[in-house]
Structure 1
Amino acid sequence: MARKILVSACLLGHKVRYDNGDVPCLDPRFIRWYEEGRMVHICPEVTGGLPTPRPDAQIVGDRVLTGAGADVTAEFEKGAQAALKLAKEHEIALAILKQDSPSCGTLRIYDGTFTDTLAEGQGRTTALLRDNGFKVFGEDQLDEVERELASIDGASR
């Protein structure tokens, strides 16, 4: 049986983003993994208690703040913990999360200045998953995901 993949819900077309939008990943590999029943989805921000739509938030120092200065760190941490629990329950092989997000960014996130400036970094959920030994990729890293899944699937046969 193919191992499961934890996925940001917005990549599957769920309207959970801060702006009530979605960003479906239309890559044929992503769609195939979905059709194989491999995907377990979550939006850590919604699971953590934030509404849709909601104010844009960014990591500022060790906190997560909205542009108006509201501290939403607790909700981001609650969502990250829920994602970790889901990953463990489903024994996921890896995660594909939404790049640039303060929850899910894997290589880069917005820099905390609310000026649409990206910087190297990772979101709160990505960091927690990685700290617990899970491999996490962005939707723009599907070549790496494909190689990792081939390695994992080949080893389990």
Structure 2
Amino acid sequence: MINKILISACLMGFKVRYNGSDKAKVTDKLSQWQQEKRLVVHCPELAAGLTIPRPPAEIMSGDGNEVMRGRARIIENSGRDVTEHYQLAAWLALRAAQESGCRAALLTDGSPTCGSQNIYDGSFNNIRKSGMGVAASLLARHGIAVFSEEQLPELILWIEEREGNSFSG
């Protein structure tokens, strides 16, 4: 059985980030997985109706887990509270993963939605802190293994361990 992977659309070259850019990380391995129909390409923020471009947003006084529990907020650099949009984005990512049978996710680090290793600290000064975004934390809480784009080798190993075979690339 192949393990399906939810992947941030921006990592696959789609220009869906807040500033209209991508964060393309398309490697031979990701191309192979895409051909195997293993990847579920998804942008939680677009799914939730956020626009491109959109103002930068950061989590204030917490992380994604605290946002999902109503204990922290996501604010745009204009001061607008967009917490509910990002909470919806997280739920839509979980639904996409579950409906597609994803057991892992490869997400864009730093994002208030997809950050899995770190997020911005809420100061809008380009300072990162350890923590997860809203979608990453919700996916993890529901048993989906979450990896950042910098953890592709770890994801490859995770897949190999579960499928009992070795990949090249």
Determine the structure 2 residue equivalent to 1:63. 73
Query: Does residue 1:95 correspond to 2:100, yes or no?
Result: no
- Preserved CA contact (<8 Å) 1:93 1:149: no
Distance in structure 1 (CA, Å) of the matches to 2:85 and 2:164: 38
After the TM superposition, which parts of structure 1 deviate over 6 Å for at least 4 consecutive aligned residues?
Answer: none
| Percent pairwise identity | 39
**2:157 matches 1:153:** no
Structural mapping, 1:100-119, within 5 Å? 100-119=110-129
Give distance in 1, aligned partners of 2:51 and 2:126: 22
Q: Give SS of 2:164's match.
A: helix
CA drift at 1:23:
1.0
Post-superposition CA distance 1:5-34 (Å, at most 9, x none):
100010111111000111111332222212
| Conserved 8 A contact 1:93-1:152 | no
Supply the distance in 2 between the matched residues of 1:100 and 1:30 (Cα, whole angstroms).
21
Which residue is 2:3 aligned to? 3
SS of 2:15's equivalent? coil
Matches within 5 A, 1:4-83: 4-61=4-61, 62-83=72-93
For 1:93, what is the secondary structure of its paired residue? strand
Contact 1:103 / 1:125 at 8 angstroms: preserved in 2?
A: yes
Q: CA deviation at 1:48?
A: 1.1
**5+ long unaligned stretches in structure 2:** 62-71
Q: CA shift at 1:143, angstroms?
A: 1.2
1:120 aligns with 2:130: yes
The residue aligned with 1:143 is 153
Give the 3-state SS of the residue equivalent to 2:116 in structure 1.
coil
SS of equivalent to 2:136: helix
The CA RMSD over aligned residues, in Å, is: 1.2
**TM-score, normalised by the number of residues in structure 2:** 0.88
Amino acid at match of 2:31: I
CA contact (8 A) 1:16 1:22 kept: yes
Structure 1: how far apart are the matches of 2:152 and 2:42?
Answer: 19
Q: Distance in 2 between matches of 1:17 and 1:110?
A: 15
Contact 2:13 2:26 in 1 (8 A): no
Secondary structure at 1:140's aligned position in 2?
A: helix
> Structure 2 counterpart of 1:17, which letter?
R
Give the aligned length: 155
Shift of 1:91: 1.2
